[in-house]
Structures are given as structure tokens and as C-alpha cells.
Amino acid sequence: MDIALSALVILLLLSPGAAFRISYIESDSLQYTVDTSITGELLFIVVVSFIFNAIGISIANVVAPSDLKIVVASISNMLSDNTEALAFESISSDEIHLDWSPVVLFTTFTFFLLIFASISGKGFRKVVIKYNWDYRFQFLRISNQWWYFLTGREFGLKQETDFDYIQIDALVSCSEGDYIYSGELSKFFFNRRKELNRIYLKGVFRRELNLQRTGLDIAQSDDNDDSANITSDGESKDVVLINQQSLEKNFDESFEKLSSSYFVIEFKEIRNINVSYVKIV
């Protein structure tokens, strides 16, 4: 019981770092968020938790110094297995009176630290993106490589500045055969392991793959904007150039326009994917 209580206290003390990390990368998973080891993640959480707890203690020492002494004494008792000093106010032959005030104070302290850490994580994320710190420091990477490809940040591109939307050309295998699906990227989702799970396209065209004509010959179309051809393992094969006018020229009568508002493609069905950052001219 004493070991379990001490472990719970340690987890609560580390929770601000975990809250900061999760809100920063907007993920429901810790281990498979970015291309770092679990050891690196834990080290990051420990350091950040120490910082937030130090800030919280400093503020509490100014606002409520007497309550802070109670909380510190309670934590010390829990970590030293001195549960009698923590839990009982007085013991008589008839009954035991529990003193819950240290528990309430510690829970309140942790709760406000969690809120502060979550807000700070989202704010720090905006600062990192604005000043491109994630390019300079690997541990500040916001997500895995797919997130950077599908937002344009892998090539230093910004939406509405360098491009207006992202065009996806996906070679998909299904029971009917191999088809090329082309459309504007609307959303994309990862699974719990932070692997690309599915993509949502709108304004979709499709045609059956013809080995005599291997798709949208984008590499020869124009040279005004950036595009990347990516295989299903996420490796960038080349960077070519495209704009909206040259893109529209590639849709001929062999393409069938789908009537759906959104078209969902499971990533496991995609054999190859071409990502184009399209500028409206």
C-alpha cells in the first residue's frame, strides 16, 4: 500500500510534464509521437515537470505559504511511507478521524498545474512553429514525418503564403483493380502508433491505372510550385514543381469525377502517393 501510494504521488508530480508534452504534440500517445526514443520522452517529461512544479511552488509560497507547508509535509510523508502522519489527525479508542486537507490541497495544486501545463504546451507549439525551432531541434518536432509532409513544413512551405491547397494523387489497390484517386487534401488522421491511418479528399477524380500512361505526368508540367512524390514508407523520392493551371490540364476524359463530398482512403490501401502544394494563379 505504501509503495503504491508513493508511486501515485510520483506520477502526479510528473503529470504536468506529460500534459505539456501531449498538448504540445496534440497526441493521445506518448511513445509513438515523434521519432525519438521512450527514454528521451521520459527525460523531457521529468525536466518539464520539475520546471512546472518549481513554478507552482514559487507561486503557492507567495499566495498561500501556510497551505504550501502542509502540501510539502504531506508529500514528504507519503514518499517516506509515513502514512500515519499524513492520514490521521487523532486516534482514540473509539474512532479514527481522517484529515483530508493535505490530500485536497495536493489535488488542487496538481489540478491547476495540469491546466497551466496544457495551456503552456499549446502556446509553446505556436511559438515553435512561428520561429521554426522544430527544424533546429529534433526534440521539438511536433509530430512524425508524415505530418510535416502533409502540411508542407518539410519543405519550409506555408499555406496561403507559398501554396493554397494540397493536391493528393494516390495509387490505390482494391478488388476492382488499381486506381489513381486525385483530390484536394481535407484532413488526415494518425492511429495510436502515430502512423498515417486515413486521408480525407474532396473534389475527387479517379481513373483506372493504365500501364501505358503512368498517371499524372506532373514532373514535366511546370516549374512554379513545390510537390513531393512519397512512397508508403514516408520516404521523399523527389521534389517537382506544379501550379493549378498545369494541374487542371492533366484531367482528361479518362478521369471520372466522384459525386461524394468527401472521399476517405485507408492508408493501408495506398501503394504510392504524390503530394502537390498547389498555388492558384
Contact between 154 and 167 (Cβ < 8 Å): no
Give the integer Cα–Cα distance in Å for 165 and 186.
Answer: 9
Q: What residues contact 262, with CB distance under 8 A and at least 6 apart?
A: 186, 200, 201, 202
CB count, 10 Å around CB of 146? Answer: 21
Residue with cell 504531506: 74
CA-based nearest residue to 198, from 270, 134, 130, 140: 270
Do 216 and 274 touch, CB atoms closer than 8 A?
Answer: yes
Structure confidence at residue 188 (pLDDT): 92
Report the DSSP beta bridge partners of residue 207. Answer: 180
Provide DSSP, 101-115. HHHHHHHHHHHHHHH
**How many Å apart are CA 261 and CA 181, to the nearest integer?**
14
- Is residue 211 within 8 Å of 192, Cβ to Cβ? no
User: Residue 80: what pLDDT?
Assistant: 64
**Within the chain, what is the greatest distance between any pair of CA atoms?**
93
One-letter amino acid for residue 46 of the chain: V
Q: Per the confidence metrics, is the pTM higher than 0.75?
A: no
The ranges of the chain with pLDDT < 50 are 1, 27-35, 85-98, 212-225, 230-242, 245-246, 249
What's residue 251's pLDDT?
58
Amino acid making up residue 83 = T
- Packing angle between helix 101-131 and helix 2-25, nearest 10 degrees? 30
- At 134, list the grid cell: 522544430
Q: What is the pLDDT of residue 11?
A: 86
